[in-house]
Amino acid sequence: MQKEYTITVYTEDRIGITNRITIIFTRRRINITSLTTSETEIPGVYKFVITVLATRELLDKVVLQIERLIEIHRAFVHEEDEVVYQELALYKVSTKALSNGNIERLIRDNHARILTIAEDYFVIEKTGHQQELLDMLKKLEPYGLIEYTKSGRVAIVKWSRRFHEHLKNLGEKQMDNLPPGVTHPEANRSGISL
Amino acid sequence: MQQKDVLPMKTEKSDKRPAPAPVSEPITGAEAVIRSLIAEGVETIFGYPGGAIMPIYDALYDFQVSGQVNHILVRHEQGATHAAQGYARSSGKTGVVFATSGPGATNLVTGLADAYMDSTPMVAITGQVAAALLGTDAFQETDVIGITMPITKWNIQVTRPEDIPGAIAKAFYIAKSGRPGPVLVDITKNAQFGKLDFQYEACEYIRSYRPKPVLNMEQVEAAAALINASKRPYILCGHGVLIADAQKELIAFAEKAGIPIASTLLGLSAVSVDHPLYVGYVGMHGNYSPNINTNECDVLIAVGMRFDDRITGDVNTYARQAKVVHIEIDEAEIHKIIKADAPVHADAKEALQALTGKIDAKDTKAWIQSFKELDKQEDEKVRHKELYPTEGELKMAEVIRLISEKTGGEAILVTDVGQHQMIASRYYGFKSPNTNITSGGMGTMGFALPAAMGAKVGKEEREVVAIIGDGCFQMTLQELGTIYQSKIGVKIVILNNNFLGMVRQWQQLFFDRRYSSTEMTNPDFVQIAKGFFIPGKKVTDRSEISDAIDEMLNTPGAYLLEVVVEKEDNVFPMVPAGAPIASIRLD
Ligand SMILES: Cc1ncc(C[n+]2csc(CCOP(=O)(O)OP(=O)(O)O)c2C)c(N)n1
């Protein structure tokens, strides 16, 4: 059954890596609904958070094809309850709305905040799950909404401790190429099974 | 013209220039490319020059003159890739290709994709416009990295001279390790001209890349338990067996428990056709008994193969009765097409060694007998009349039988794509490993002539025979020029049916005999060869064929034999595309 899944991918910092990852989804005709990427706490290691609508069975195969790429450390598929995640939305609203006392209350009650106020518009920021962000959008529409934009997903995996220890070890070993004969303690995938 | 069965560089090795001393002065990026290749033990490069790779060709000049490296000038960059594939498959080394930017690089696409599908190690080096011009649609600028991303195991663009040795070291490591594949290094012109302090260190480790999994004994135990509990175990031997050099281990494993072995198209030659446990090859045009018995075995042991759709036919009816043991180095292949009950994610050689220690001897006589009975049907309905016709036009199969007999099954057979490929794969009696070179995953027409050329360069002492259809030959026949210039002693057999035979066969069977654009009016192939100073002969009559093959094999150097064969012959057995393999047709 198709469902929304979160995929996390840990990569080296290399030009073109986004392309390499997305090609694999494209070939399987899977539509990426959002994609976020940024450096992790380990220098040189990047984390992609990708959301897709697909079946678990297919995605289990896809992550292995992603892991086959040389610059990928690991890729995982997560069920909804395995991750803590948030998205961020910005709402640009006409300044006129501010004269309506209700809007400040609306912002407060929805745990949003005003980022900036200009002469003819102001910008509200809110984080949350997609549905909450959309609900806020609906509520703001009557006040003269000018523009809405939303980020991709940012996610923390609940069980990721051992994997992050593994990544940290990598970070400490600055050497990309170990001298011949030296086996890397983490070179075996099963050694970091999670 | 006298053809020598050797390459010029190997014999004319001169001492004009001493072996390169360690470099203490800064050198150009271009020279660093050549020195890096030499450090990797590269002896032969297949390539074609052009503006964006000229500094590298200029640096090559001195090293070529001093005999440290040999360059073979092909006639088309696609030819360079297939030659490098043939070279890699016959010699076990990584094939190396040079091409210029733009059209030179785009001409590599087919060969890279082919090598990717068939897990062949190759390093392609392309010239690129200067870094400052990247992304500006400069003359002969093409996004080679973007284009080749999905068809290379890895690729990289180098824009600074100091990054060249490291990139080449990584390229060789990645191309050859784990599941091998093609790698492309695109080097901008400024990086070729710029200078660096040269130092070369081979790459042995990349922190995000684990080429060889550590053998997991639990997986081995689970596989052994399945095999020990089976009555009708069955091995499918794929290309991975040859890549892992695990032929001996495979046979020891099979012999211990009396397990019959079938081969995939690319697994051919891993097991000698004479071996009592060898039962033939599987797939669309494979043998009858191994295809039928795939759906009769109780444990299917797939080694280094990936269940291509030409093997499985309809996956929903494929080996449903069997438990599947899948030994595979690439984890992404496990469960990809066929769910494995006992996956063994490992190098084939290590896995087979470990498994052999865990399995018991068993009596499989009745099971093996069942192959023989089915085989008899194939013999009666197909094989006998194909191999020993007494009247009518020449048949492809009898030509292959004669070549097989006269070479003792010891030649390296390079086949192109089509009916002739299937017939050659079916009827050549492979005796020793790595003697079957063909385009399996891609099915690239035009593969054989350049690949045979490369195979001969990689294994000069071996007889190399290319079996090519009239259609395929005309896709890359310009490489006759390379064969002549570089004196490559390859034997070329054109099986001419004046048709794009395999497509015509499908039209006959599935499109109501509507032969849409498959008939070919052909040139005089022997005259064409003559134009390239390659001797040859055309044979149309059964009475002449044996002598003609002798003449070909006895002529030193290259030779072209054109055999006119039955126009509308078909290859059977056949599993129609997407049909269950049990529906294999004998006629
Ligand atoms: C580059 C390319 N184009 C088209 C095809 C489709 N194709 C597969 S077999 C074949 C016919 C090959 O004809 P020929 O070389 O005469 O060999 P025959 O089948 O007659 O032995 C064709 C056109 C292909 N495999 N590769």
Of residues A182 and B569, more confidence is placed in B569
Of B15-19, B258-262, B416-420, the one with minimum mean pLDDT is B15-19
Integer Cα distance of B220 and B395 in angstroms: 46
Sign of CA dihedral B558, B561, B562, B568: negative
What percent of chain B lies above the pLDDT cut of 70?
Answer: 96
Bond before B573 cis per omega within 30 degrees: yes
pLDDT of residue B6: 36
Residue B138 has pLDDT above 90, yes or no: yes
Which residue in the set B145, B202, B207 is minimally distant from A170, CB to CB? Answer: B207
- Using CA positions, which residue lies closest to atom 11 of ligand 1? B500
Q: Which of B325, B332, B311, B315 lies closest to B265, judged by CA?
A: B311
Integer Cα distance of B145 and B263 in angstroms: 35
Other CB atoms within a 10 A radius of the CB of residue B216 amount to 18
Band (pLDDT 50/70/90 cuts) for residue A171 is low
Apex CA B60: angle with CA B133 and CA B450, to 5°? 90
- Average pLDDT on B178-187 reads 98
Where do the structural domains in chain A lie, given as residue ranges?
Answer: 1-78, 86-150
Of A48-57, A101-110, B325-334, the one with minimum mean pLDDT is A101-110
> How does strand A32-39 pair with strand A45-54?
antiparallel
pLDDT of residue A168: 80
Token pair in block for residue B72:
């073979």
Query: Which runs of consecutive H residues, i.e. helices, occur in B295-334?
Result: 309-312
pLDDT of residue A159: 83
Architecture of domain A86-150: 2-Layer Sandwich (3.30)
- Choice among B170, B189, B456, B537 that is catalytic: B189
pLDDT of residue A164: 82
Element containing residue B235 per DSSP (H, E) = strand B233-237
Which residue in the set B204, B209, B336 is minimally distant from A178, CB to CB? Answer: B204
Q: Does residue B77 have an active-site annotation? A: yes
Per the prediction, chain B carries an average pLDDT of 95
Please give the CATH topology (third level) of the domain spanning A1-78.
Alpha-Beta Plaits (3.30.70)
pLDDT of residue A163: 80
Integer Cα distance of A44 and A170 in angstroms: 10
Q: Is B49 in the pocket of ligand 1 (CB under 6 A)?
A: no
3-state secondary structure B378-424: HHHHHHHHHHCCCCCCCCHHHHHHHHHHHHCCCCEEEECCCHHHHHH
Beta bridge partners of B564: B496
Token pair in block for residue B423:
């017939």
Tell which one of B78, B386, B417 to mutate to probe ligand 1, the residue whose CB is within 8 A of the most ligand atoms: B417
pLDDT of residue A160: 79
CB burial of A40-61 (b: ≥16 within 10 Å; e: otherwise) equals: bebeebbbbbbbbebeeeebeb
Of residues A180 and B453, more confidence is placed in B453
- Using CA positions, which residue lies closest to atom 3 of ligand 1? B445
- Å between A122 CA and nearest CA of chain B: 38
CA B281 vs CA A1, A159, B268, B414: distances in Å: 38, 47, 7, 17
Band (pLDDT 50/70/90 cuts) for residue B551 is very high
Q: Which of A186, A47, A180, A161 lies closest to B208, judged by CA?
A: A186
Tell which one of B472, B498, B518, B563 to mutate to probe ligand 1, the residue whose CB is within 8 A of the most ligand atoms: B472
Q: Which of B305, B354, B343, B336 lies closest to B219, judged by CA?
A: B343
CA B116 vs CA A38, B3, B181: distances in Å: 31, 34, 5
What is the ipTM for the molecules in this complex?
A: 0.89
Residue A182 has pLDDT above 70, yes or no: no
Q: Is B469 in the pocket of ligand 1 (CB under 6 A)?
A: yes
Ligand 1 atom with least separation from CA of B418? 19
pLDDT of residue B297: 98
What percent of chain B lies above the pLDDT cut of 90?
Answer: 95
Residue A173 has pLDDT above 60, yes or no: no
CB burial of B1-26 (b: ≥16 within 10 Å; e: otherwise) equals: eebeebbebeeeeeeeeeebeeeeee
CA B94 to chain centre: 13
pLDDT of residue B20: 54
Q: A1-78 with A86-150: one CATH topology?
A: yes
Please give the span between the terminal C-alpha atoms of chain A, in angstroms, as a whole number.
25
- Average pLDDT on B194-216 reads 93
Residue B458 has pLDDT above 90, yes or no: yes
Q: What are the pLDDT digits (tens) for A18-38?
A: 999 999 999 999 999 999 999
Please answer yes or no on whether A176 and B204 come within 8 Å at the CB atom.
no
Contacts of B153 by beta carbon, 8 Å cutoff, 6+ apart: A70, B116, B174, B175, B179, B180, B181, B182, B183
Exposed (0-12), middle (13-18) or buried (19+): which is B56, by Cβ within 10 Å? buried
In single-letter form, the type of residue at position B150 comes to P
Best residue in B205, B218, B330 for a mutation probing chain A (most A CBs within 10 Å): B205
Integer Cα distance of A10 and A39 in angstroms: 9
Q: Which residue in A has a C-alpha nearest to residue B158's C-alpha?
A: A15
Q: What are the pLDDT digits (tens) for B76-104?
A: 999 999 999 999 999 999 999 999 999 99
pLDDT of residue A167: 81
Number of H helices, E strands in chain B: 25, 20
Q: Show residues of chain A in contact with B213, CB under 8 Å.
A: 188-190
Token pair in block for residue B547:
């002598």
Per the prediction, chain A carries an average pLDDT of 87
- Å between B36 CA and nearest CA of chain A: 17
Apex CA B56: angle with CA B51 and CA B57, to 5°? 75
Q: What are the pLDDT digits (tens) for B507-522?
A: 999 999 999 999 999 9
Integer Cα distance of A74 and A34 in angstroms: 19
Integer Cα distance of B517 and B389 in angstroms: 29
- Choice among B284, B502, B552, B574 that is catalytic: B502
Integer Cα distance of B555 and B78 in angstroms: 28
How many whole angstroms from B457 Cα to the centroid of ligand 1? 26
Do B219 and B345 form a contact (C-beta atoms < 8 A)? Answer: yes
Band (pLDDT 50/70/90 cuts) for residue A172 is low
Integer Cα distance of B196 and B501 in angstroms: 55
Tokens 């284009």, residue?
B147
DSSP string for residues in A121-187: EEEEEEEE-HHHHHHHHHHHGGGTEEEEEE---EEEETT-HHHHHHHHHHHH---SSPPTTPPPTT-
How many whole angstroms from B501 Cα to the centroid of ligand 1? 7
CA B4 to chain centre: 26
pLDDT of residue B19: 46
